[in-house]
Amino acid sequence: MTVAWVIGARGMLGSAITRAINARPGWSTHSSESIDWTLSPDELSSASERMATALFDEAARAGESWSIIWAAGAGATSSSAEVFAGELRQLEGVLDGIEKASSASRTPGQLFYASSAGGVYAASEWPPFTEATVPAPISPYGDFKLAAEKAFHSTAKRMGIPSLDGRIANLYGPGQRLEKLQGIISHIALARLTERPASIYVPLDTLRDYIFVDDCAALILTALDRLTVEGGQVTKILCSGQATTIATLLGLFRAVTHGRPRVVLGSSSASALQAHDLRLRSTVWPDLDRAQSTGLPAGISATVSDILATIQRGTTSPAVQPGSVRTRS
């Protein structure tokens, strides 16, 4: 049995991971207070030490192992280096508290960090990219993801526990935060359902690998089960293994929604931070990838239904109300 603390449980990925845990035999969720991200790194260290101690104590009482799953993150591809410098200090503060709490616990556990394949391999050569590909970020976002991966692996080594960095492809599905200028499938869906067009700043032959959020969540838990057995500090690409162009994506939207999404092609300096070809293939534990079951048409349909329900509830973020929706891949 594994009791899991999901950091970032309210986000799209964190919510999906929580759903997957609740439906998975051998796993349970740890109920923790929310982390206050306005605290200083030192205050975050103290707060996370208290929260981690509660997790370790719960696991010990139940005779279970524990897992800390990091699915948090406020920065987007276009965020500045200053934003990510602050986010890295926060992450390091939380890890410091977890490490301190572990010194008084003998309960076995593991760490997971949700990284980004797009950020890490943005300027890498010779796609499809695998875990053996040399990372080559071209944005502060990619630099931050590599630094965070290193922080997680280093912390896990000092704690004497295994860790897993999941380099995730383009994540999509219900629960996307529409105020963030990312998540092309969600923003095209919003444009299909409203009067506001989505502006696309990359060529229509841009290649991306799209993984449905619930498939990704299930894959994370399956990989953590494997990590429990094999141990070590592991990096795995979490992807569908299928590359799709923006043009094909728009065609799928027309087929699924029986209408043409409102899309405007444009240009932006931020497009320089976007790779043209981000085909991906995992060579680490590739047998785990075969369980994915959600194809793009079904995933697009689920995303459109979720956004329609959000619009009907009147809870669409004010940040995306006026003007066009600017969409990046």
pLDDT tens-place string over residues 309-321: 988 988 654 333 3
Report the C-alpha dihedral over residues 140, 79, 238, 226, rounded to 10 degrees. Answer: 80
Residue 329 in this model has a pLDDT that exceeds 60? no
Question: Would you call the peptide bond into 140 cis, given omega within 30 degrees of 0 as the criterion?
Answer: no
Structure confidence by residue, pLDDT tens digits, 248-303: 999 999 999 999 888 998 766 666 667 889 999 999 999 999 888 899 999 999 99
- List of domains in the chain: 2-171+210-238 (3.40.50.720), 174-208+243-278+294-327 (3.90.25)
Task: Please tell me whether the overall predicted TM-score, pTM, comes out greater than 0.85 for this model.
Answer: yes
Q: What is the pLDDT of residue 326?
A: 36
Strand (E) positions, 117-255? 163-168, 170-172, 198-200, 207-212, 233-238, 243-245
